[in-house]
Amino acid sequence: MKVLKAAITGMGFIGRQHMEAVRRLPNVAVAAVSDPNPSVRSWCEENGVSGYYADYDEMLEKEEIDVLHNCSPNHLHYEINKAAIEHGCHVYSEKPLTLKPSQAGELAAMAEAEGICSAVNFNYRNHVMVHEMKGRIQEGRLGRTSHIQAEYLQDWLLYETDFDWRIGKETGGDSRATGDIGSHCFDALQFITGRKITSVYARYFTLYPERIHHEGGGTFSEGRKEGGGRRVNVETEDAAAILFKMDDGMLGTLNISQVCAGKKNGMKILISGNKESLEWEQERPDRLLIGKREQGNELLYADRKYLTEYAAAEATLPGGHPAGWTDALANSLKDFYHSVRQPGSPYRYADFKQGHYVAKIVEACYESNLKNCWIDIE
């Protein structure tokens, strides 16, 4: 079997997670990485990657790459994804696909026209128990689904001294918390239910109109409390409360925050039906709470002998062996690389078309907050 050559652009936190996940796949090798940070060169040498480039264009020109993993900051996603497609590379992009829905739609059309396999890393849909939720809904175990409650709460931007490139509109986009973490919920909810979000009403909240920027801070780094630094205006939201409707009339609520003390990566989904409810927490990803009225509630573990047929294939570990975030990413990449080898085969990851639609939901939330009204998504 041919060894597929992968390349990664952007070797921060998420790029290194992609590296580890790719190395779990058979007959796939990371041939090159690109990152303007010169310290990445020595990291490549230590980790057995022969090709280091400061510039992604040079990497695309010189390396024979089958798949590009785009792990760069948000504002670079469009240009890098487009360049990769033009070079004939299949693309696995971090979210958001682009900062603007129009750009996302352009990339989706390009990928389809060129026969390129495309994916956007909405990683939470790849958890075994998220698949179990989808499987149970498909089998009708919940009965008629009635409403959804979801939340995604973090505290890594709680202090005025916490700063990251996502805070600026030019680099992170118009919506920060909604685009950064709310988008994960939008994707997961649509994946689980098989429905589309068609209308939103959103209200945004910003804790600090200014933040203190010290050089060297980054994603999930601790806030710096020493003096100095420069004050930067904050134009993006720290938190949001969102109402939404789905195409079958189902209502839902979503609360998101990056300034909620004590919450690290607290994504939670509760889907209610007239027979059962399903509740899943990202920080306990291999468990699913099944709510009942006439019987005791059930806590289901990710053991394939207890799972629906839809989810069992993703449960690769024996019962009692926790599966988490990195396993979900590996599941998604296994699925994606199968698509590269077998074009047209069924898949479960989010493609560029789905990434485009999520971008439209995020834009609708931003517009709703500005206009203080419901916004339909077309």
Nearest to 85 by CA among 102, 103, 99, 101: 103
Could you tell me the two tokens for 123?
Answer: 């990683």
d(CA 86, CA 345): 23
Longest dimension (CA), the chain: 64
**Res 224: pLDDT:** 53
d(CA 372, CA 378): 19
377 φ/ψ angles, rounded to the nearest 5 degrees: -110, 125
- Beta-carbon contacts of 145 under 8 Å, excluding residues fewer than 6 positions away, are 137, 193, 250, 271, 272, 273
* Domains of the chain, residue spans: 4-124, 128-349+357-371
Domain range 4-124, its CATH number among 3.40.50.2000, 3.40.50.720, 2.40.30.110, 3.30.2270.10: 3.40.50.720
Q: Does domain 128-349+357-371 have CATH number 3.30.360.10?
A: yes
Burial of 244-266, coded b for 16+ CB within 10 Å and e otherwise, reads bbbeeebebebbbbbbbeebebb
Nearest to 101 by CA among 164, 28, 175: 175
Query: pTM score, two decimals?
Result: 0.95
**Res 219: pLDDT:** 63
Nearest to 14 by CA among 333, 337, 362: 333
Could you tell me the two tokens for 256?
Answer: 């998101």
25: exposed, middle or buried (Cβ count in 10 Å: 0-12, 13-18, 19+): middle
- Beta-carbon contacts of 27 under 8 Å, excluding residues fewer than 6 positions away, are 1, 2, 3, 4
Amino acid letter, 331 = N
Could you tell me the two tokens for 182?
Answer: 């709310």
DSSP string, 243-290: EEEETTS-EEEEEEES--TT-SSEEEEEEEESS-EEEEETTSTTEEEE
Tokens 């990371």, located at residue: 30
| pLDDT tens-digit profile, the chain (378 residues) | 899 999 999 999 999 999 999 999 999 999 999 999 999 999 999 999 999 999 999 999 999 999 999 999 999 999 999 999 999 999 999 999 999 999 999 999 999 999 999 999 999 999 999 999 999 999 999 999 999 999 999 999 999 999 998 998 989 999 999 999 999 999 999 999 999 999 999 999 999 999 998 876 556 566 555 667 899 999 999 999 999 999 999 999 999 999 999 999 999 999 999 999 999 999 999 999 999 999 999 999 999 999 999 999 899 888 888 889 999 999 999 999 999 999 999 999 999 999 999 999 999 999 999 999 999 998
**Res 222: pLDDT:** 61
d(CA 315, CA 312): 5
Pairing mode, strands 118-121 and 90-94: parallel
**Res 317: pLDDT:** 85
DSSP tally for the chain: helices H, then strands E = 12, 17
Length of the chain: 378
Domains 4-124 and 128-349+357-371 share a fold: no
d(CA 160, CA 259): 10
d(CA 187, CA 264): 20
